[in-house]
Structure 1
Amino acid sequence: MDIDVPAQLIADQLRRGRVTLFLGPGMNAIGRSAGDTGEHLFLPLGSEVANLLAKEMPDHEDDLFRSFERPDLSRMSRSFEIYFGREALYDFLNGVFSRRTRENPFYTYLADIQAPFLVVSTNYDDQLERALTAAGRPHHVIFTVAHADDEGENLRWKRPAAAQDPLVRLRLS
């Protein structure tokens, strides 16, 4: 089924600050050619991260891993954590997602919009934040951390760079 997306209408409403964008997995693939892994140019997709995790496992050639047609990121993350520990998993993922890559053209487009807008993203990277910063756009980021120092305080608010105390802990009640 083909769906005609009213792209111009959405873009116009976004420029007026009347649209909330929900960005899901794969946003970091914008600008990639089909089949291009381009590790030095692009962040990996979830399935590619799952493959990277699987390759680090001592028994990644085992029948269990070969039986997965498409490795599942949550399953591979959990297996990695069991083998090596949570801190090793965080270090590995930080290494994957913190490297600098080619600018995402969609994020650059968003950064050029002058009206305030809200974006909700399921992605783990900071490409959109970097695009907004490069364009001189102040922005707030609310995110969760996988583990918290205090029970229930895993929500964080990063205010614009010009604000004092850029990282604030939030508690939902």
Structure 2
Amino acid sequence: MAERPDSAHFHMIAKRLLVGAVVPFLGAGVNLCGRPATASWERGRYLPSGGELANYLASDVGVSYPYSDISNLLRVSQYVDVSLGNGPLYEALHEVFDADYSPTPVHQLLAGLPSLVRRRAAGQRCFYPLIITTNYDDALEKAFLAAGEEFDLLTYIAGGAHAGKFRHTRPNGDSELILGPNAYPEFKCDERPTIAKIHGAVARVDGEEDSFVITENHYIEYLSHTDIAKLIPVNILTRMRKSHFLFLGYSLKDWNLRVILHRLWGAEGAGYNSWAIQSQPERIEEKAWAKRGVELMDMRLEEYAALLDARLQSSFEETLP
């Protein structure tokens, strides 16, 4: 049975985060963090869950989804794509995510990390966080901007002439297609944080640049033909392989995550212990995470974010090594 994180866990995670040794990995559940239990998705206020997004696509974009698994986002989006085409699907997704959603407590926690990293470093060299997300919205970026923090943005391109590559967007808005990731030195984790959106993202300024890995076919192509380890800039990939992972808002029922982890870690798994936070997980979840060398811990994300933030703040009342 998964245990609740204790004070020793938060002490360890805080120390490792502050030296850049933990990579937060955000799933769709992060977007529900802090949302009232009685509330549902509301454009511009509350981000949708995967099931809510599937229900919207199944009923509000011009098709009537005929099957019972109406909350299955992969199946529903695939049906819309086949019935109407990729264009209408992307237009519907743009309508959902091209809105000003407030950052969640997890987003705010992560946006507060850079200032704590600088404070701990006290003028010495430091390593800012690398954050990986499979979410399409820009709430995390908004949290960083609200905190006055610059960041590099790495976004997967799902379609068009450059499908299968990543784009680097700098803090000043300039962007560059990454053609040679093995010789791309622009990501410097000792200068500022990096946000990696490995399933694409909404393009708020120009909808023509939207990128969504969402349908069954998208995932099959992404996972069977895309060796993500060969597309990510080498210094980012090295950082990923030499860090702990902290999975927030994710379930290993998501088969695409299992394949991604296999691509990143290989059959032997990771060489660094990692953790996943879920509320009241099923026993099968614990077994699935354990097979990947990940310890599953039982806690709601709201509580976890609050306790970790408190631990990070109190770290400066002690002498950190």
TM over 0.5: yes
Question: How big is the alpha-carbon RMSD for the aligned residues of Structure 1 and Structure 2?
Answer: 2.0
- Residue 111 of structure 1 corresponds to 111
Structure 1 pair 95–7 and aligned structure 2 pair: CA distance change class (3 A): farther
- Residue 133 of structure 2 corresponds to 121
The 3-state SS of whatever aligns with 2:48 is: coil
Distance (Å, rounded) in 2 between the aligned partners of 1:133 and 1:13: 24
- Residue 158 of structure 1 corresponds to 169
* 1:13 Cα deviation from its structure 2 partner: 2.2
- Would you say 1:92 and 2:59 are equivalent positions? no
Number of positions where the alignment pairs a residue of Structure 1 with one of Structure 2: 164
* 1:38 Cα deviation from its structure 2 partner: 4.4
* 1:110 Cα deviation from its structure 2 partner: 1.3
- Residue 46 of structure 1 corresponds to 50
Distance (Å, rounded) in 2 between the aligned partners of 1:78 and 1:140: 32
* 1:92 Cα deviation from its structure 2 partner: 0.8
* 1:129 Cα deviation from its structure 2 partner: 0.8
Distance (Å, rounded) in 1 between the aligned partners of 2:35 and 2:26: 17
Q: Is the 8 A contact 2:102 2:139 kept in 1?
A: no
The 3-state SS of whatever aligns with 1:138 is: coil
TM-score between the two structures when normalised by the length of structure 1 = 0.84
* 1:8 Cα deviation from its structure 2 partner: 3.8
Q: Is the 8 A contact 2:152 2:169 kept in 1?
A: yes
- Residue 168 of structure 1 corresponds to 176
Select the residue among 144, 160, 172 that pairs with 2:156: 144
Q: Deviations over 1:2-44 (max 9, x none)?
A: 3232234313321332211111221111101224214142110
* 1:91 Cα deviation from its structure 2 partner: 1.2
TM-score between the two structures when normalised by the length of structure 2 = 0.47
Unpaired runs of at least 5, structure 2: 118-127, 182-229, 231-321
* 1:153 Cα deviation from its structure 2 partner: 5.5
Distance (Å, rounded) in 2 between the aligned partners of 1:11 and 1:157: 28
Q: Is the 8 A contact 1:142 1:155 kept in 2?
A: yes
- Residue 16 of structure 1 corresponds to 19
Identity %: 32
